[in-house]
Amino acid sequence: MANYSDECDGPSCQLCAEYGRESDNIQEETDGGSGTGFVVYLITSAKGVPYVGKTNNFKHRMSQHRYAIKDGRGDGRKFIEYYRNHDFDAATKEILDTAQNEEELEEMEHFYIAQYNSVNNGLNTKW
């Protein structure tokens, strides 16, 4: 498991420039630090509330989460509403697992959502 935080290292990051926020500096051995690759990740709030997600670009996905929270729109209403009232930057973000393809990624996401019981006790709304 890798734990990520720190400031965004991308000078051309439009969202960082527009919103003046911190982003995740990805240094993942499986992708050479690019933030790309099929991964299942866990976001745990400072109060211990879990959210499991999947992506093929971790860094970009964290930016999408931040934008959705600021904008108040997106698919994950439970997630968005929670983080509109809690500090997203104080949450830990970690990669739980990597996958070789989208099918495997989908299976892994279901597994970890069940393992963390993040529909009933967290911020996931489906699995």
The first and second tokens of residue 46, run together, are: 């400072």
Q: What three-state secondary structure class fits 3?
A: strand
Distance separating alpha carbons of residues 25 and 34, to the nearest angstrom: 9
Does pTM top 0.95 for this prediction? no
The tens-digit pLDDT sequence of the chain (127 residues) is 443 333 344 444 443 443 333 434 333 334 444 456 899 999 999 999 999 999 999 999 999 999 999 998 877 899 999 999 999 999 999 999 999 999 999 999 999 999 999 999 999 998 6
Q: Report yes or no: 94 and 1 within 8 Å, Cβ to Cβ.
A: yes
